[in-house]
């Protein structure tokens, strides 16, 4: 296949050469914040994860697309990322589940890509300098470079409104009713909850009064994109709900819950994006291998209420908080996986237990 040359430029001037793939935007470029993901498989789940809104995903694994795509692996109705960077894109997918090649999927959803990039060099650059805005494209290199200089990151940006549902929808038929605040909820997360509960997924902008009117037995806080510090209204809703109903948060939901407990967040240099992060449960000493996708984390020692429950063994980042008196807990990583290991799926059972305890005690 003959491809047009493409260039990738970060806003610090670093330049990488490659070839255009996927959707070719009319402007000749696409821009966003570059992050790298270390997962060895699960590229479709990664690309369709709403938490990547505003970002361009660079895969560190050198061969992407080898098993094609299937609607069964979508984590949302469409990809929300700005683009994809790959070393090599497979043209001939081979898997019994595949319904087509990855490039056709990218074109269908108008996602730009660049292939043939030295992704090892790009990863090392992002590790040294942090997640950086930039641009890539098949247009005039000077135009791409100019777009890179004005590209924006995710700092101080509320992106939840872009990806959240606009209407309430329901799933499952369990004994307990859970209201899930959709900050960018993944399909696998919905599946895990619907297996256990009667689930109502509501828009991120839903008020505390509206949530109470649904008479939930528990509230779930989903993953999502952007800077948690820009979501003050969502934090105020959680402050009103604390102590009234069991709450379980994941990823962005964890960061928002920590803020409602008096904590604050900060941006990691290059984030955690992958499926092999070791996490320690401080209460049991148990080590879990986890899937992660976040650029922000809870500031150490910032919690006014609650305690740290889990930590990342690679860099000590807070991976979980718990406030038993407020009947809430959360984790920074993704126990639902999709993609990733299933070591932490017990947390959904822990949430189920919290709801059962509430029903037993009448709280």
Q: Any idea where the domains of the chain sit in the sequence? A: 5-150, 160-361
CA distances in angstroms from 265 to 85, 96, 184, listed in the order given: 28, 43, 19
CA pair distance 108, 242, nearest whole angstrom: 43
* Angle (nearest 5°) at CA 177 between 175 and 182: 140
User: Is 349 labeled as catalytic in the residue annotation?
Assistant: no
Which residue in 45, 75, 288, 336 is the catalytic one? 336
User: Is 336 labeled as catalytic in the residue annotation?
Assistant: yes
Fold annotation for 160-361: Rossmann fold (3.40.50)
pLDDT truncated to tens, each residue of the chain (363 aa)? 789 999 999 999 999 999 999 999 999 999 999 999 999 999 999 999 999 999 999 999 999 999 999 999 999 999 999 999 999 999 899 999 999 999 999 999 999 999 999 999 999 999 999 999 999 999 999 999 999 999 999 999 999 999 999 999 999 999 999 999 999 999 999 999 999 999 999 999 999 999 999 999 999 999 999 999 999 999 999 999 999 999 999 999 999 999 999 999 999 999 999 999 999 999 999 999 999 999 999 999 999 999 999 999 999 999 999 999 999 999 999 999 989 888 899 999 999 999 988 653 333
User: In the 8-state DSSP scheme, what is residue 299?
Assistant: P
Which residue in 138, 176, 251, 272 is the catalytic one? 251
Which residue in 125, 254, 273, 334 is the catalytic one? 334
User: Is 280 labeled as catalytic in the residue annotation?
Assistant: no
CA pair distance 122, 275, nearest whole angstrom: 19
What pTM does this model have? 0.95
CB neighbour list of residue 108: distance below 8 Å, 6 or more residues apart: none
Parallel, antiparallel or unpaired: strands 247-250 and 328-331:
parallel
Fold annotation for 5-150: Glucose Oxidase; domain 1 (3.50.30)
């Amino acid at each position: 296949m003959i491809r047009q040359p493409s260039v990738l430029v970060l806003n610090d001037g670093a330049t990488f050469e490659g070839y255009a793939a996927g959707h070719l935007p009319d402007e000749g470029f696409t821009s966003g914040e570059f992050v790298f993901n270390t997962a060895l498989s699960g590229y479709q789940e990664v690309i369709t994860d709403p938490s990547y809104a505003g970002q361009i995903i660079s895969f560190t694994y050198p061969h992407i697309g080898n098993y094609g795509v299937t609607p069964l692996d979508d984590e949302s109705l469409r990809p929300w990322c700005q683009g994809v960077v790959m070393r090599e894109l497979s043209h001939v997918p081979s898997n019994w589940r595949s319904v087509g090649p990855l490039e056709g999927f990218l074109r269908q959803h108008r996602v730009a890509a660049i292939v043939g990039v030295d992704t090892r060099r790009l990863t090392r650059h992002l590790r040294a300098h942090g997640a950086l805005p930039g641009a890539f494209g098949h247009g005039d290199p000077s135009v791409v470079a100019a777009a890179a200089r004005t590209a924006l990151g995710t700092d101080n940006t509320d992106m939840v409104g872009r990806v959240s549902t606009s209407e309430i929808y329901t799933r499952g038929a369990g004994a307990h009713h859970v209201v899930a605040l959709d900050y960018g909820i993944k399909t696998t997360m919905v599946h895990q909850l619907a297996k256990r509960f009667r689930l109502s997924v509501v828009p991120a902008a839903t008020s505390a009064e509206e949530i109470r009117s649904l008479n939930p037995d528990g509230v779930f806080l989903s993953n999502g994109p952007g800077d948690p510090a820009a979501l003050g209204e969502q934090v105020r809703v959680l402050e009103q709900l604390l102590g009234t109903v069991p709450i379980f948060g994941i990823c962005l939901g964890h960061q928002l819950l920590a803020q409602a407990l008096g904590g604050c967040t900060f941006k990691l240099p290059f984030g955690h994006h992958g499926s092999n992060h070791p996490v320690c449960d401080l209460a049991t000493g148990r080590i879990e291998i986890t899937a992660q996708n976040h650029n922000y984390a809870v500031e150490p020692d910032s919690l006014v209420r609650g305690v740290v429950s889990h930590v990342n063994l690679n860099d000590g980042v807070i991976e979980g908080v718990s406030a038993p008196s407020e009947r809430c807990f959360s984790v920074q990583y993704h126990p639902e996986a999709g993609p990733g290991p299933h070591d932490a799926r017990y947390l959904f059972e822990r949430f189920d237990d919290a709801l059962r305890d509430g029903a037993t005690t009448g709280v």
